[in-house]
Structure 1
């Protein structure tokens, strides 16, 4: 039944993704043209390049070459103007540009002379995805252009996003847990183990359980005939648990030896090795998340004890008591453990599940209306669930936190992602 459900889900995702791609392949927001040498997607119009590798814009005898320059400086606009084929000096042209970003946020850019070029006075921050509105004034004549320069952007209809389980969250302040990862082993709780021997030495007449059998407190384990009284008496289980050791067979003499060992595995210990570099940071009571080496099962607990004696490898043993009533933890199995050693409040954090790679950046996809667009992140501290954001994302931004790979795939398919 489980296999059938898996196949159904796989089919559902495949069909839904195909619907998504067909729905988003062509839209009114698809870029009509791009800046040559920049990040936008080239689509319908062949972009003419100027001698500086920028985009050429023409208005009668007046022309303007516009390029994003970022050699040794943060990205900024550089422009060169000509009239009737003559290169104009920067002070002959008054140039202004508006960048209209997703969500109707506008960047106003002025220009000042810089050698033979006009240099923009504003850093063009990532993503370089916007509608470019240009106004150039020369000898009382105004020349204007507007074009799309989109990257890392796509549109997905709400019903399609819902069908594909694209989940979103709001970027806000959070707490980053600082952890140290250690390794260890599951062992029996020595406080829940009993060695069973005969009260009076004698001949073993019968033995009931075998190794691995589960017994209840008071259950018969063996019958022994006393060597002194020749009376037969019972040996009963002192606790409930599993028989982990048996050294008793009918006809043998007890001879004062241990006949059975019973382990109550409803509670077990995780013995973790803490090395000297981490010893001062690990405290009793610290939260721990334990993962089994086989199966990847996860259990939560706290540091219960830290031994003061070092092992041969100079590590000390920290103990975590774990509930094991379901019997999922087997003594002797290996585990890894993430121990929380500190908590840091941060001004802005996003879920790790939302992170994707885009060009040379780690990004999340901001959601504005039905459109999604990359946000290049500067990251700080992180834990298993959250990542601190130091830059690239405004607080309160709604971003894709679940199944963000679908957005990435659609952007890559539409060609709205290009090398820097």
Structure 2
């Protein structure tokens, strides 16, 4: 069965990552990106297509020069915002997880709005590829090109004057040239009377010119959405093995190969067995001797136990002739996924000859990160989508969350059961799973309001009279563009939700953070 499913699954995922030969920041972000070099090809796309602060995914497909997936590559991804003014460099290595079939998933966080540099390195056997590019929050897509050794040039060719300014303005990796503001438009730090470390005074006119926006902290209904990657599998509770309890010689086999559908009662094969033949004769003798019904019933029960159907036993009783080759029929409807017998095969007792799986229901095994495990419980509803069926959604139910983690991936599997209408869900297909948990009413802020300094989070609180003051907070889960606040803020307080990174760059934030 694997050989039937592997090629379509690979083709489907290749379509999912269909790419253009080159990409630039100005192109449509919905198109994936393809880079080649060093005997490797990397196809990549962002999820979400428009990068945002918080967690983002870079999905990679690594192929060799012949277009074959490379499942054992060493992949490194870095997403960095270079240092800017008083702001230290942000970002760093992404968390890369292999998914099989040459697919890799890099998870990275963007601490604040702005431009970021992307570095991708892939090493496999004697081949390697290095690429670089950039992305910007709020703008669709990203760029990624194979890195080449720079041509030698002397210092006499270095741009000066207007040329240097033009080069800086078009730097693809600096990411901030296009955002340079005139000195008179940047927020200016002041002592603000109280001298609070990191406090900034910004008058209303300057707030408007620099795009600084204030909004209240809210207490709102909060729902967490968990996205996971899953694999369609057979319902293991509905798999039936055909293994006769007696040995013998197979007569004819009616199922050509794995993959054939069967219905309950369909003939699978016939079997000659001396034990079955002797048991039939014993049954006929008990019927004809006039002995008690208990003897005949026991003989009939033995035939049923050894695999004869009730209809075949009745036929023997009516004709008085035992069957040399006893028919063995499918006990369930489904698909043959394993066949270990041909015409004339010799078999021993309890040897598995066929395996049949029901396909009216399937499982999806979804991989959950440690941080998400507390949010998923048996009985939760799940929404499932497949790449090859765009726009289609399937509803399932979580039946089990494994109570242990995989030692390599550090994930736990959640089993989702769902109906397989028309048999369109095939085992081996990749699926995207969404699970939702309602957490009730929580204190929330826009994700754009939160800035990051190492493992700390902070916001700028409107202290009144034009004063903006940094405050440390503790955040919890994310719901789309909202973040749960566990401590540090109360509902109704006013905070900066846009333009805060400009304030941070101009404030004495380093000193303030040391005092917290």
Q: Give the shorter-chain TM-score range.
A: 0.3 to 0.5
Computing the radius of gyration over CA atoms, which structure comes out larger, 1 or 2?
1
Structure with the bigger percentage of strand: 1
Structure with the bigger percentage of helix: 2
